[in-house]
Amino acid sequence: MKLWCCLCFTEEEQDTLNLMKEEDISENDVVPGVGAAAVADHHADDNRDDDRFAMTPVQPRAEALVSWTGECSAAACSDSTVAGSVESRDLSHKRAKFYADFEERYFSTNAGKCSASNEYGDYDFINDSLRTNGETFCDTFALMGGGEESGFDSSIVEDGEGDNSDILKVEDVEVRMDLTDDLLHMVFSFLDHPNLCKAARVCKQWRSASAHEDFWKSLNFEDRNISVEQFEDMCRRYPNATAVSISGSAIYLLVMRAISSLRNLEVLTLGRGQIADTFFHALADCSMLKKLNINDSTLGNGIQEITINHDRLCHLQLTKCRVMRIAVRCPQLETMSLKRSNMAQVVLNCPLLHELDIGSCHKLPDAAIRAAATSCPQLVSLDMSNCSCVSDETLREIALSCASLSFLDASYCPNISLESVRLPMLTVLKLHSCEGITSASMAAIAHSDMLEVLELDNCSLLTSVSLDLPRLQTIRLVHCRKFADLNLRTMMLSNILVSNCPALHRINITSNSLQKLPLQKQESLTTLALQCQSLQEVDLSECESLTNSICDVFNDVGGCPMLKSLVLANCESLTSVRFFSTSLVSLSLADCRAITTLELTCPNLEKVILDGCDHLERASFCPVGLRSLNLGICPKLNILSIEATAMVSLELKGCGVLSEASVNCPLLTSLDASFCSQLTNECLSATTASCPMIESLILMSCSSIGLDGLCSLQRLPNLTLLDLSYTFLVNLQPVFESCTQLKVLKLQACKYLTDSSLEPLYKRGALPALQELDLSYATLCQSAIEELLSCCTHLTHVNLTGCANMHDLNWGCSRGHIAGVNVLSITSSYENVHELSEQPTRLLQNLNCVGCLNIRKVFIPLTAHCSCLLFLNLSLSTNLKEVDVACLNLSWLNLSNCYSLEVLKLDCTRLTSLFLQSCNIDEEAVETAISKCTMLETLDVRFCPKISSMSMGRLRAACPSLKRIFSSLSAS
């Protein structure tokens, strides 16, 4: 296998490469151990080089490239002859050759060694504690220095620790990479410093490229154990570095070397150490410095004043530092942070400072804060959070001195109330947990016409907010225990958060930008007024005190003309809900248990949730855009009116007291009115007249439906499913005459049907499309059932569960029709054989005779023409003694709990499942029966007293296809 990494070249470069191939490839290029075969193969492939170099240029992923070179590094520079040949070439067209075995067999047998080779040469240039092949930190950078003077020996790469020599053992695989210096420079620009060190181990070209100063502009020594000598060596090697990061115990010595050696230093980051005051004196010598960050350090000896004087410094950050006093004189300083620093005095002489952060400087007195802030007239942003000593007087002085102040964070300042404070240019104001902020403070805030963000979380004494701010966009009111009244008039308000305000009872909002209003769990909210032209979503979940007047807010004239989603879940005080909205799309009234009346005039309403509205008595949906509606969860619903031009499914299952229903849904295809015992013939007639597309009609237990109601079914030409179970119907003639497309007819427990009620089915061929017939628990006589099964050959599913008059199922044939005649009476004359062959094939697929207590014998011979029968269920027929079935396609037979079963004869070659649970049949009869079932997989003989656990082997021998036998005595 050959893996080529090729690039696109210009015509001039291509000519040079062709010349190189002709002049340079010789036997001396062969790596020891590769052999002449690889060289010959190399020359043979030269004729195809044009095609290789015409391929799409490779755009290597830098990380993957370095990971791969970690495995190939030993082979890259192992032969000194190769290295000499490479050095003699033009650097701009230098080619590094790699030979490696990529066969899967090699990787599978040498996984541990390959893993080791990945680590080969993997050393961190800034970690003194990490050693590679015994090299020290200084050796590492000597390796990257480039040139022979670095003392780099290629044998280091070849020999290593002596464990990776297998990498050189290659036979017939060549990997060639043609990389110019410019391309290497581009690839290496994506690598971090540790990976650059890995790349330096590959070859001299890569070592030289990875050491380029463009990649070492920023030197990071944070959390690194590095000596002063090593650091000095780095500074000498990269004198043009612009950023240095240092932390640790030796921070002072290192930083002094940095500022004395790196004259182009622009960013200096220090942390977790002690910095003497001499550093700040020498800082001025670092003339290019623009940003200084010091974190978690002690400045000076902790008692004297530290002075920072620099002409070009723009950004200063002293975070969590320990110093008694600090003076900053930086004429170009723009941002400064003293956050969480422990100091008692700060003096600023920074005329251009526009961002100051003194948050959590607990020891700074009020006067020091005032002096520092007022000395910066260009201040735009001020963070004084957690400065508990700040007073209103300081804020007034700051307001007068800093006319451009737009950001103020005074959170956790308990002594401020903003009285007489005017901040007209303020855009962001944060006042979290300010105990002095009350409703009177709003008068001062109201003068901030430019205010965009206002945060008042945990202001425990705040009782009301009334603001008219034209630019306010965001307001937060969280955990304000006494807050009761919110009045906002701001056209640009787009984000509001009001949460855990237990006393809030009134909200009035006017805005043209607000689109979403979440007000969950406002338990005391009773009054809500909204004038929000763009509002689309409102969530008032668990606002238990809301009254019926809330409906007026969300009507078309209520001030929210664009409202689409409204959630009123668990609003337990609502009793009568009326909405007239042309924009409302989704409405949730879940668990509003007190609602008794619902009127929705929302033509675009597509979703309504009424779960838990179990006291709803009157409902009107006129008009709505619903496609489906389930009112079965409203058991007390009495009067219903629906007008929905798009509705296709309506479920009224369980509305037991529904007496008046007006349903005008011209596209309705499914109506389930199960257990609507009060539904009258008039309601059914009106519904069929207005919903002519109904295909499925379920009237189970609709005891008030009679002959007049059935007559209205003639208006439903597409009716395919009709369920009249548990009704008192006697005459089904209207069904037989008008429902010509009916496919499913369910007549469960219709005990008033007589023996002649179904005569049109088997005597006059009524309902020719009928496929499924359910006569469970019917009182039809045996002869009617026999005639039905004999003549209705088009039926595919017949359910006779619990039919007490169902006797022997004997399908022996005599004179061309099925009857309960002993099969022995059938002659074998030519005429009878011909007559049998003329009988139509039955389409019956599923026959269910569960719990037919009077069945004693089941006889279904091949002459019964039941070739389509797939499922036969005779379980719980306790008097059944003999079963003789010959159905070639039968796949599932259930005889469980047929306690009297003694004879079992089966000629069912495709039977896969046989259930004989709790049958009194002996094992010989079972063995004989299953011997002809060549595809039987599952046999259930649990609780069969005459079948022992020792018989499982015999049963498996009788039917080799068996996969599972269920036995109560042993699991097989």
Q: In terms of Cα–Cα distance, which of 344, 247, 331 is closest to 296?
A: 247
Burial of 78 (0-12, 13-18, 19+ CB in 10 A): buried
For residue 358, the model assigns a pLDDT of 96
Q: Is pLDDT above 80 for 776? A: yes
d(CA 586, CA 602): 10
Q: Is pLDDT above 60 for 828? A: no
100-114 in b/e form (b: 16+ CB < 10 A) is bbeeeebeeebeebb
542-573 in b/e form (b: 16+ CB < 10 A) is bbeebeeebbebbbbebbbeebbebbbbbbee
d(CA 673, CA 859): 40
Report the pLDDT averaged over residues 538-564. Answer: 94
Q: In terms of Cα–Cα distance, which of 136, 12, 116, 117 is closest to 75?
A: 117
For residue 452, the model assigns a pLDDT of 97
Across 26-30, 171-175, 731-735, least confident range? 26-30
Beta-carbon contacts of 126 under 8 Å, excluding residues fewer than 6 positions away, are: 193, 219, 220, 221, 224, 226
Q: Is pLDDT above 90 for 126? A: no
Q: In terms of Cα–Cα distance, which of 338, 363, 365 is closest to 353?
A: 338
Beta-carbon contacts of 953 under 8 Å, excluding residues fewer than 6 positions away, are: none
* 769, 772, 777, 781 alpha-carbon torsion, rounded to 10°: 50
- Asked whether 783 and 762 are in contact (CB, 8 A), the reply is no
- Which residue type occupies 24? D
Query: Is the preceding peptide bond at 424 cis, omega within 30 degrees of 0?
Result: no
Report the pLDDT averaged over residues 339-366. Answer: 94
Question: What token pair was written down for 866?
Answer: 């039941």
Give me the residues paired with residue 291 across strands.
267, 315
Give me the residues paired with residue 809 across strands.
858
Q: Is pLDDT above 80 for 128? A: no
Give me the residues paired with residue 509 across strands.
488, 530
Question: What token pair was written down for 894?
Answer: 């259930």
Q: Is pLDDT above 50 for 153? A: no
Q: Is pLDDT above 50 for 479? A: yes
Report the pLDDT averaged over residues 530-537. Answer: 95
Over residues 268-324, the pLDDT tens digits come to: 999 998 999 899 999 988 999 999 999 999 998 767 789 999 999 999 999 999 999
- Phi–psi pair at 432, nearest 5 degrees: -70, 135
For residue 178, the model assigns a pLDDT of 54
For residue 319, the model assigns a pLDDT of 95
Beta-carbon contacts of 557 under 8 Å, excluding residues fewer than 6 positions away, are: none
For residue 494, the model assigns a pLDDT of 95
Q: In terms of Cα–Cα distance, which of 163, 202, 137, 167 is closest to 33?
A: 167
d(CA 33, CA 147): 28
DSSP designation for 300: T
For residue 774, the model assigns a pLDDT of 96
* Residue 818: half-sphere exposure toward Cβ, Cα within 13 Å: 30
* 591, 593, 598, 603 alpha-carbon torsion, rounded to 10°: 0
* 769, 771, 772, 775 alpha-carbon torsion, rounded to 10°: 70
**Percent of the chain, pLDDT > 90?**
60
Secondary structure (3-state) at 936 = coil
C-alpha distances (whole Å) from 568 to each of 520, 592, 611 are 9, 8, 12
Question: What token pair was written down for 729?
Answer: 């119907």
Q: In terms of Cα–Cα distance, which of 414, 356, 370 is closest to 388?
A: 414
Over residues 310-339, the pLDDT tens digits come to: 999 999 999 999 999 999 999 999 999 999
For residue 197, the model assigns a pLDDT of 87
Secondary structure (3-state) at 281 = helix
Place of tokens 């855990």: 500
Over residues 583-604, the pLDDT tens digits come to: 999 999 999 999 999 999 999 9
Give me the chain's average pLDDT, please: 81
For residue 839, the model assigns a pLDDT of 57
Q: Is pLDDT above 90 for 439? A: yes
Question: What token pair was written down for 536?
Answer: 């689309």
- 71 against 637, higher pLDDT: 637
Domain ranges within the chain, ordered by starting residue: 854-971
d(CA 298, CA 316): 16
3-class secondary structure per residue, 690-707? HCCCCCEEECCCCCCCCH
* Residue 887: half-sphere exposure toward Cβ, Cα within 13 Å: 30
- Asked whether 798 and 789 are in contact (CB, 8 A), the reply is yes
Question: H-type helices in 302-353, by residue range?
Answer: none
Q: Got the DSSP string for 818-851? A: E-S--GGG----HHHHHHHHTSPPP---EEE-TT
For residue 123, the model assigns a pLDDT of 32
Q: Is pLDDT above 70 for 605? A: yes
* Gyration radius of the chain over CA positions: 46
* 731, 735, 737, 743 alpha-carbon torsion, rounded to 10°: -140
Q: pLDDT tier at 41 (50, 70, 90 boundaries)?
A: very low
C-alpha distances (whole Å) from 784 to each of 456, 745, 755, 792, 855 are 82, 17, 6, 12, 15
- Asked whether 822 and 774 are in contact (CB, 8 A), the reply is no
- 100 against 344, higher pLDDT: 344
Q: Is pLDDT above 90 for 681? A: yes
**Percent of the chain, pLDDT > 70?**
78
3-class secondary structure per residue, 567-606? ECCCCCCCCEEEEECCCCCEEECCCCCCCCEEEEEECCCC
Q: Is pLDDT above 80 for 115? A: no
Question: What token pair was written down for 40?
Answer: 């010959």
d(CA 95, CA 177): 7
Over residues 639-679, the pLDDT tens digits come to: 999 999 999 999 999 898 999 999 999 999 999 999 999 99
d(CA 90, CA 263): 35
Over residues 831-873, the pLDDT tens digits come to: 443 444 455 678 999 999 999 999 999 999 988 888 899 999 9
- Which residue type occupies 27? E
For residue 177, the model assigns a pLDDT of 52
Over residues 365-403, the pLDDT tens digits come to: 999 999 999 999 999 999 999 999 999 999 999 999 999
- 569 against 139, higher pLDDT: 569
Q: Is pLDDT above 50 for 696? A: yes
For residue 250, the model assigns a pLDDT of 83
Give all strands of the β-sheet with 882-885 in edge-to-edge order: 809-810, 857-860, 882-885, 903-906
d(CA 592, CA 51): 76
Q: Are strands 809-810 and 175-177 parallel, antiparallel or unpaired?
A: unpaired
DSSP designation for 58: P
Over residues 496-529, the pLDDT tens digits come to: 999 999 999 999 999 999 999 999 999 999 999 9
Containing H/E element for 114? helix 111-119
Secondary structure (3-state) at 489 = strand
Q: pLDDT tier at 15 (50, 70, 90 boundaries)?
A: low
Q: Is pLDDT above 60 for 200? A: yes
Report the pLDDT averaged over residues 801-816. Answer: 76
Secondary structure (3-state) at 347 = strand
- Asked whether 452 and 428 are in contact (CB, 8 A), the reply is yes
Q: Got the DSSP string for 893-913? A: EE-TT-TT--EEEE--TT--E
Q: In terms of Cα–Cα distance, which of 173, 177, 158 is closest to 78?
A: 158
d(CA 474, CA 493): 6
Question: What token pair was written down for 119?
Answer: 């680590």
Q: pLDDT tier at 727 (50, 70, 90 boundaries)?
A: very high
Containing H/E element for 396? helix 392-401
Q: In terms of Cα–Cα distance, which of 377, 456, 365, 451 is closest to 410?
A: 456
- Asked whether 380 and 403 are in contact (CB, 8 A), the reply is no
- Asked whether 694 and 720 are in contact (CB, 8 A), the reply is no
Q: Is pLDDT above 50 for 22? A: no
